[in-house]
Amino acid sequence: MMIGAFARTFRHGIHPAGHKEATEHLPVERMPFVDRYVMPLGQSAGAPSRPVVRAGERVRRGQVIAAPAAFVSSTLHSPVGGTVVGRGPGHHPSGQLVDALEIEADPYDSQRLPAGEAIPWRELTDDEFVTHVQHAGLVGMGGAAFPSHVKYKLPAGKRVRRLIANGCECEPFLTADHRTMVERAADVLRGLEILGRRLGAEEAAIGVELNKADAIAALEREIAARPLPGLPVRVVPLKVKYPQGAEKMLIDAVYGLEVPAGGLPIDVGCLVNNVGTLASLADWFDRGWPLIERVVTVAGPGVARPANLLVPVGTPVRAVLDHCGGLSAETREVVMGGPMMGMPLASLDVPVLKGTSGLLAFTEVETRLPAEYTCIRCGRCVEACPQFLNPSRLARLARAGRWEEMERYFALDCVECGSCSFSCPSGIPIVQLIRVGKAKLREQRAKAS
Amino acid sequence: MSAHSPRLQVHTSPFLRQGVTTPGLMGDVLLALVPVLAVATYYFGLSALLVVAAAAAGAVGAERLLGPKGAIRDNSALLTGVILGLVLPPGLPLWMAFLGGVVGIGLGKLVWGGLGHNLFNPALVGRAFLQAAFPTALTTWPVPTGLPGLHASSFAAPFLHGEVDGLTGATPLNLMKFAHEATPLADLLRGSVGGSLGETSAAVIVLAGIFLAARRAFDWRIPVSVLLAVAVFSGALYLVDTGRYASPLFMLLSGGLLFGAVFMATDPVSSPLAPRGAWIYGAGIGILVVLIRTWGGLPEGVMYAILLMNAATPLLERVDQPRAFGRGARRTIA
């Protein structure tokens, strides 16, 4: 085991308290099936999927219910066996109304999904492989839900030399990836193997923060037990720091490489995948299981019984929270995702999505807005910003509505990790102001073109 | 069973905060000033406490009366007042100290738009005003009297100076400049020498500085660069002619240099934000201090050195743009 002081990391960033004690040792348990599921057609980046089932039609668990509408678009599968009861506007966790399919579970269906035949992935052409991943409905499970097959379709002339598995899980409270690495280390490595071979990677690294010693041990055991000829895989223990799980920060931490501003990891020969995504990749190619369920950490001071749950996509948030003993009377806010970048829910009647890593319930203590003072230019946000920006200046420009100037100070490079707001002693909503500026800049760009 | 369904609030992320607040940061600096004040009181008597109290009362009063509503809660006016009091002579008439506090906050901060907007360190604006208005009173240095010492001059009625009772003496820098006489370094470390209240014990100020740096209450680069610049510049001069120029150790320990470097140059509002700017700013202060002390008309130059570099801060900010991640040629190729 490496000593913490010598572990690698990226530059800048913050050290929020981990809050992972409540769930990091809890094995993943299956969320019981409920009556109704809602599948928004636009769950991931790109074009919403096109439904291929009609109301009243019976569907099997894992059956395709919506096909991709374009290349940057994903496949949706029914999370349960049952009946499609309708298509209509449903509430997306973002608060918007989106087109969705509603499925009623069949109470007499066993909901078992027997493993199918393995797919001979070595024999596929590159394009066939990409199409297969699209059919699996695979998206980035770290939170962004970007369709994975788009990432695997390499631009001409680019190649992946280094494949990185993202096991940082730097967001406080969340332990879904942690448990996946501990309980499914073999599948994570299998996903890494399939992807590494397919993309022709020279080596693979799994970046894991030091607060997950059991995950590091489990992965190292698995690597030792099944070495991959020609594809060296190693676990890279990383210091505990936020936002290490951001793609560009992770590449800097593991390999000391800077992805150019506005560029992609492929520009430095890297490709990053969340460990949960890799395990799901193995599920598809080894067992024929599409992405229809995921691990969700349910935690926070407002939750009676914190847990790591294997939840079918489309399960209403309310049902998941009820399964965990419900919310305490002190709960004020429920967040989907992590506390640093997650999305607050306006209603509990929204579904768990493919990108839902956590459901956190916060009370008055966590949600109270800090008293705001003027900026005293203490520089804490500058020292925190992993993109080396000057957040205090960007916030000031945003307040003044000086959008063009914000762009000159690289506002569009901001990854919205929130480290600035976290560290500001004056309680200034820095990242929130920068978000406004970025939205305005995009609006102007859209108008201009 | 559907459990309790609360009325949900919707904020935007992040939902966690570090818990360090601006009044807390000011409080840290105030805490670090307590031992400095204690030593000053030990050597200069109760008058020291009274001078600091008067300056603080002036500063807080001005902020309360003229400042934005509720601004008093950020502790910054109190801090300005205490720092101002500590750079004044022990026997100063209290009404002058009070006036200095009012002017420091009024002209040094509020006319610029309040906390965060001022170009100059408000405490130094107050002191510069007093220096210009009452040059004699500001350069009358009672010798350390010990604890009970109350100077009659402290209680001079407004607009009167009062007589400084007892002995007055030259500060170590005066002795150096005008008599070429060095003060024993041990006295400087302890603080048993004439001078402003906060110019006393070098040892206590250094400890306070280490405390503040550890709490990240200020940018450690600033005091380090100020002191390094003074040491290097005055060291070079000392090597040229040991008889004519003061030794670098004497330069570092005497006068208001340590107090200024730790408590005044580090005011975040009036100093550069980015690391490189902080180094340049600190070095500039150090060089100016040695220049003024060695060739200027005054024995001490810390106040003007800091004020001048305060004025240069916006320029430094403009010149020193930190390199954004992934921009520029560094480390983008394997």
Give alpha helix (H) positions in chain B. Answer: 22-44, 46-66, 76-86, 94-108, 122-133, 135-138, 172-179, 185-190, 202-214, 221-240, 248-253, 257-259, 275-295, 302-319
Contact A223, A232 (CB under 8 A): no
Q: In angstroms, rounded to a whole number, what is the distance separating the alpha carbons of residues A138 and A354?
A: 9
Nearest to A154 by CA among A121, A200, A204, A188: A200
pLDDT of amino acid B333: 42
B13 to A418: CB separation less than 8 angstroms, yes or no: yes
B325 to A258: CB separation less than 8 angstroms, yes or no: yes
Residues of B in contact with A327 (CB under 8 A): 3-6
Nearest to A219 by CA among A178, A266, A280, A162: A178
Q: Find which of A96, A318, A336, A376 to mutate to test the B interface (most B CBs within 10 Å of its CB).
A: A376
Residues of B in contact with A380 (CB under 8 A): 20, 216
Contact A228, A195 (CB under 8 A): no
Contact A171, A337 (CB under 8 A): yes
A332 to B8: CB separation less than 8 angstroms, yes or no: yes
A366 to B331: CB separation less than 8 angstroms, yes or no: no
Spans in chain B with pLDDT lower than 70? 1-5, 143, 145-153, 155-170, 177-181, 190-192, 329-334
Q: Is B12 on the interface with A (CB under 8 A)?
A: yes
B269 to A366: CB separation less than 8 angstroms, yes or no: no
Radius of gyration of chain B (CA): 22
- What does residue A312 show for φ and ψ, rounded to 5 degrees? -60, 135
Q: Is B63 on the interface with A (CB under 8 A)?
A: no
CB-based contacts of B86, cutoff 8 Å, min separation 6: B33, B36, B37, B40, B52, B196, B197, B198, B259, B263
CB-based contacts of A435, cutoff 8 Å, min separation 6: A416, B12
3-class SS of residue A239:
coil
Q: What's the number of CA atoms in the CB half-sphere (13 Å) around residue B320?
A: 17
pLDDT of amino acid B1: 41
pLDDT of amino acid A350: 94
Q: Which amino acid appears at position A233 of this protein?
A: V
Nearest to A371 by CA among B21, B301, B162: B21
Q: In angstroms, rounded to a whole number, what is the distance separating the alpha carbons of residues B332 and B323?
A: 13
A377 to B115: CB separation less than 8 angstroms, yes or no: no
Indicate the residue of B16, B269, B325 with minimum beta-carbon distance to A340: B16
* B317: its two tokens: 């900010």
Q: Find which of B8, B13, B110 to mutate to test the A interface (most A CBs within 10 Å of its CB).
A: B13
Contact B127, B87 (CB under 8 A): yes
CB-based contacts of A229, cutoff 8 Å, min separation 6: none
Contact A97, A346 (CB under 8 A): no
Query: Residues A64, A27, A277, CA angle at the centre, nearest 5°?
Result: 40
Nearest to A160 by CA among A262, A34, A255: A255
Count residue pairs from A and B with Cβ separation < 8 A: 184
3-state secondary structure B14-65: CCCCCCCCHHHHHHHHHHHHHHHHHHHHHHHCHHHHHHHHHHHHHHHHHHHH
pLDDT of amino acid B332: 42
Q: What's the number of CA atoms in the CB half-sphere (13 Å) around residue A117?
A: 3
Indicate the residue of A269, A342, A373 with minimum beta-carbon distance to B334: A269
Per-residue pLDDT of chain A (449 residues; tens, 9 = 90+): 445 667 899 999 999 999 999 999 999 999 999 999 999 998 888 899 999 999 999 999 999 999 999 999 999 999 999 999 999 888 888 888 889 999 999 999 989 898 888 999 999 999 999 999 999 999 999 877 899 999 999 998 899 999 999 999 999 999 999 999 999 999 999 999 999 999 999 999 999 999 999 999 999 999 999 999 999 999 999 999 999 999 999 999 999 999 999 899 999 999 999 999 999 999 999 999 999 999 999 999 999 999 999 999 999 999 999 999 999 999 999 999 999 999 999 999 999 999 999 999 999 888 888 889 999 999 899 999 999 999 999 999 999 999 999 999 999 999 999 999 999 999 999 999 999 999 999 999 888 87
* A53: its two tokens: 């089932």
Chain centroid offset of residue B281 CA? 15
For B328: left if phi > 0, alpha if psi spans -120 to 50, otherwise beta; the answer is left
Indicate the residue of A263, A322, A421 with minimum beta-carbon distance to B2: A322
Query: Residues A62, A68, A72, CA angle at the centre, nearest 5°?
Result: 125
Residues of B in contact with A425 (CB under 8 A): 18, 20-22, 24-25
Nearest to A185 by CA among A223, A211, A212, A148: A223
pLDDT digits (tens, 9 = 90+) for A101-128: 999 999 999 898 988 889 999 999 999 9
Measured CA distances, A43 to A272, A273, A353, B20, B325 (Å)? 21, 18, 7, 38, 30
pLDDT of amino acid B334: 39
Give alpha helix (H) positions in A115-184. Answer: 126-135, 148-152, 176-183
Indicate the residue of A344, A369, A413 with minimum beta-carbon distance to B10: A344
Radius of gyration of chain A (CA): 22
pLDDT of amino acid A352: 97
Q: In angstroms, rounded to a whole number, what is the distance separating the alpha carbons of residues A90 and A87?
A: 9
End-to-end Cα, chain B, rounded Å: 57
- What does residue A207 show for φ and ψ, rounded to 5 degrees? -85, 115
A421 to B76: CB separation less than 8 angstroms, yes or no: no
B324 to A258: CB separation less than 8 angstroms, yes or no: no
- Closest approach of A192 to chain B, Cα-based (Å): 21
Which residues in chain B (191-250) have CB-CB distances under 8 A to chain A? 216, 219
Q: In angstroms, rounded to a whole number, what is the distance separating the alpha carbons of residues A149 and A291?
A: 13
Q: Which amino acid appears at position A349 of this protein?
A: D
pLDDT of amino acid A367: 86
Q: Is B180 on the interface with A (CB under 8 A)?
A: no
Nearest to A295 by CA among A282, A284, A281, A279: A279
Which residues in chain B (129-148) have CB-CB distances under 8 A to chain A? none
* A155: its two tokens: 């631009």
Q: Is B68 on the interface with A (CB under 8 A)?
A: no
Q: Find which of B1, B11, B76 to mutate to test the A interface (most A CBs within 10 Å of its CB).
A: B11
Q: Is B70 on the interface with A (CB under 8 A)?
A: no
Residues of B in contact with A423 (CB under 8 A): 18, 20
CB-based contacts of B282, cutoff 8 Å, min separation 6: B221, B222, B223, B224, B225, B226, B228, B229, B261, B265
Q: Which amino acid appears at position A257 of this protein?
A: L
Indicate the residue of A333, A346, A410 with minimum beta-carbon distance to B324: A410
Q: Is B186 on the interface with A (CB under 8 A)?
A: no
B16 to A257: CB separation less than 8 angstroms, yes or no: no
* A208: its two tokens: 């894991």
Q: Find which of A330, A333, A360, A374 to mutate to test the B interface (most B CBs within 10 Å of its CB).
A: A374
pLDDT of amino acid B201: 79
Indicate the residue of A256, A409, A431 with minimum beta-carbon distance to B331: A256
Q: Is B8 on the interface with A (CB under 8 A)?
A: yes
- Closest approach of A121 to chain B, Cα-based (Å): 30
B327 to A389: CB separation less than 8 angstroms, yes or no: no
Chain centroid offset of residue A108 CA? 33
Nearest to A41 by CA among A32, A52, A30, A26: A52
Residues of B in contact with A398 (CB under 8 A): none
Q: What is the DSSP letter of A285?
A: I
B6 to A263: CB separation less than 8 angstroms, yes or no: no
Q: Which amino acid appears at position B140 of this protein?
A: T
Q: What is the mean pLDDT of chain A?
A: 94
Residues of B in contact with A259 (CB under 8 A): 326, 332
Residues of B in contact with A390 (CB under 8 A): 273-274, 322
Contact B98, B57 (CB under 8 A): yes
Contact B231, B258 (CB under 8 A): no
Q: Is B273 on the interface with A (CB under 8 A)?
A: yes
pLDDT of amino acid B150: 66
